[in-house]
Amino acid sequence: MSLKMLKHAIYSIKPLPPVKICYLIQSGENEIAFNENKPLRSASIIKLFILAAAYYEEEKENIDLSKQVHLSPSDMVGGAGVIPYLSDKQNYTYQQLLELMIIVSDNTATNALIDFIGLDTIHAFIQQIGGKHTKLERKLMDEEAIKLGLENRTSCYDVMLLLDLLTEPNNILPKHRQEQMLTILENQQFNSKLTAFSAYDSSIKTFHKTGELTGAEHDAAIFQTADKQLKAVMLTEGWTNNGEGQQFHQRAGAHIYHYLKG
């Protein structure tokens, strides 16, 4: 399967409005895209920017991720994650919170990291890498902020900048930081979307982060075979049933899988 055929295959399964589909897929020097500059609610995809900003700031010696923090009952929030459901005292290093934020998409860990790094610092990092559409305006599960109209947003274009930062030589993240981030992303526990086929094929390595809110289903992934690398960002919104959104991602992921195996 060629990249052009992959584009046609994804177009053939494109849902009808009001569902919004945005994607950007790169393989080598070639790419296919649709609405790649359209900002949508970021959901947990925003955690990728927090992860990269944390390592960038530690590299600059502005923060120390080995520092410990105690999380109290008042720090707990709902949604994805495991921290609110664990018993006894909860002390973590910020490095462990980074891992929980990505591997099980823990919202409590994410909010603690936002406090630790700082909203302004994360925004500055996003601007430094060239992000055009990404905004982190509130913590996760902050209902009061949502009522005020504050929302976290991103685009396929911006997320691809981050995936490039992990896979290409650059002057922002040295190779050992890239490797740290890729190791965490490779340990992702949620594989029901773009990686539904590839994650269980030992000939393909997958490094990715999903995101979802009511009506929104996202995934951003790096696929690596012995001779191919493909990066895919797919943001979707407007589903009346999130299960249908996950099925669309799975079908798109199946086409990516066949492209990689072709």
**In 3D, which of 166, 208, 203 has the Cα closest to residue 186?**
208
According to the model, what pLDDT value does residue 81 have? 93
Angle between helices 46-59 and 94-103 (to 10 degrees): 150
* Residue 92 bridge partners (DSSP): 69
Q: Whole-prediction pTM value?
A: 0.96
Spatial distance between the Cα atoms of 105 and 121, rounded to a whole number of angstroms: 21
Residue type at position 83? I
Half-sphere exposure of 197 (CA within 13 A, CB side): 15
Please state which CATH class domain 3-261 belongs to: alpha beta
pLDDT per residue as tens digits for the range 187-209: 999 999 999 999 999 999 999 99
According to the model, what pLDDT value does residue 211 have? 97
Domain boundaries, the chain: 3-261
According to the model, what pLDDT value does residue 88 have? 80
According to the model, what pLDDT value does residue 68 have? 97
Spatial distance between the Cα atoms of 112 and 179, rounded to a whole number of angstroms: 23
Spatial distance between the Cα atoms of 128 and 148, rounded to a whole number of angstroms: 28
CB 154 within 8 Å of CB 224: no
Q: How far is CA 31 from the centre of its chain?
A: 19
Spatial distance between the Cα atoms of 221 and 234, rounded to a whole number of angstroms: 9
Spatial distance between the Cα atoms of 244 and 13, rounded to a whole number of angstroms: 12
DSSP string, 225-256: -SS-EEEEEEEEE--SSHHHHHHHHHHHHHHH
Spatial distance between the Cα atoms of 109 and 82, rounded to a whole number of angstroms: 9
Radius of gyration of the chain (CA): 18
According to the model, what pLDDT value does residue 9 have? 97
- Averages of pLDDT over runs of 10 residues in the chain (262 residues) are 93 95 96 98 98 98 98 92 89 98 98 97 97 93 83 97 97 97 97 95 97 97 96 98 98 97 88
Q: How far is CA 98 from the centre of its chain?
A: 13
What phi and psi, each to the nearest 5 degrees, are found at residue 109? -60, -40
